[in-house]
Structure 1
């Protein structure tokens, strides 16, 4: 099979004809293509649909895969807990731009409930969150502003992944290979 550059169908109308765990079949201008995921990271495909294919190497959805996750613990309490929490929420939302919930970095990634997160801030000790580097760096600035001590664990590493979005469905992988079917 001849490999085709994914950029050749970027911003074109495509129809999802079929999808499996390792590939998706797309129809572009009455031609069928198989798009293989190379080292798949995350796929959200729920239905056969048509829409504009958008291909990204940088996007808010990619930070969970392009940046290592760091674990953050709080070691002192802010004077204004409510403002501190609001600033954390705003900082995370600014980075993820609505593509994920800010609470995901507390509840899902960290395994603690929002109430535990708030209690740990009030007590000035315990787990704060698990998040990618860019989010943690933003949180570190907020902590400096509020004179809150934190401890960050984990190695700061970066990777390169790619994203394809068709309407509200997406695929994230190390790379993609497009072949005529």
Structure 2
């Protein structure tokens, strides 16, 4: 398992980057012990809401193999529309790793950052489970119009995503081990 923490078009956030590196290393250890699965290679990218959409959609396009410029433009527009409300996203990468993109504008302190980080790391652990990565990539390919799936498959995929989201929210209490203030 390899962990890298970096920034994207984020200047003057050196102390935030150092804090993120420290918290990420601790969070990976805590989540690995507490959640079923195996931690893949993780890339954590800190960015603002303006650049969150372009970083996450670029990773989605690469993973899904989307080359249609119109679909890319539509996906980028949709991502920009929702970027203000997103605290973080985890995206499976083509090489088998997971990209976690964190919106630093949504995190006023370490406690909130720790909660988001644990939530997204749980999603990273979920991708190592049997069939989950393939289903997530097929979902990206379906959303980007590369390979359409049936409505039945789409409903089942939505149910699985909801269950995975519930598990991630249920595991956010682990952030209290990272930063005691997150437990409050």
Q: Same fold (TM over 0.5)?
A: no
> If each structure's helix is expressed as a fraction of its own residues, which one has the higher value?
2
TM-score, scaled to structure 1: 0.26
TM-score, scaled to structure 2: 0.25
Name which structure has the greater RCO, CA cutoff 8 Å, separation 6+.
Answer: 1
Larger Rg: 1
